[in-house]
Structure 1
């Protein structure tokens, strides 16, 4: 076992045990299963933290709890009256998706893909590696053969361009493709060369 992970787990997760148990007791219809649920939640959080530690551990803990309860309700073929009575407390989403919602979701996905494709190549690669493949800054820098600061600049620039494209009224236009300052210098743009 990783001592630092165990220390993190005790400091960031186990300190919320009392709140977690109260939440589970309030939300789960079978009081005798609360302690088993708690253990399953801890296992999920711990296993997830082995891969990457969450930025907001308490929120991650309670989201994991809600998701686990949701999974258990959905898995149960025969849902008891008690469970359906408390289903609103679990914040479950109904899986009935209308054709309009499917079309809207497809359109949003197309907009996101267009915005992503409009990013400068280095920004696009960094955003993909950091946000989709969830690589660390160090792993991304190693893979791309650049320093950590460059990765952070490309990520910040890429996220800013995506946000501007998606939320800044640029729906009909491409995202600006001017490379970040450090990339401009590498390519010779600094002195007007192309």
Structure 2
């Protein structure tokens, strides 16, 4: 597991989910496909960032979304997509990943989303307003009725808890898997046990 990549993804990509979904809903003609499109965008960004981190995460995220929809347009010949800013000029080249790596990326993304949902209400609101809606810190403080210093603390706390929830959940899964392997090993007869089968209490083979 690449902990640096996961932390980067949570801090610089996942926080833009609301804006990404809004863009997809405006640009794509099939509302029932928005969820799958979003997940596919995340997988592509995650895989690409594993090779080289983009210098501008948010533009890279939206360029990846447009690149994906363009691919589907060419295959399905659906209606055209409205351009967004100068994202069209960005060169987004993302290699196709194996099914195993794609599955792993999807699982990581699901854990990140679950971790975000588990944040305390105030932390989640501060992170959302500052990182997703990109409001100035002063405006976030006014909206929440707290000081700017408290906003900073809530955002720092939220990002720390996000990492703890995410990595803690993975650690628990790893521990459960290890315990399962240990139980299977314990239930498996050892070579010594197998060697004693068919012997009497003095080590002689039965029938001697």
Give the TM-score category using the shorter length. Answer: 0.3 to 0.5
Between structure 1 and structure 2, the one with the greater Rg is 2
Under a length normalisation based on structure 2, what TM-score does the superposition of the two structures give? Answer: 0.39
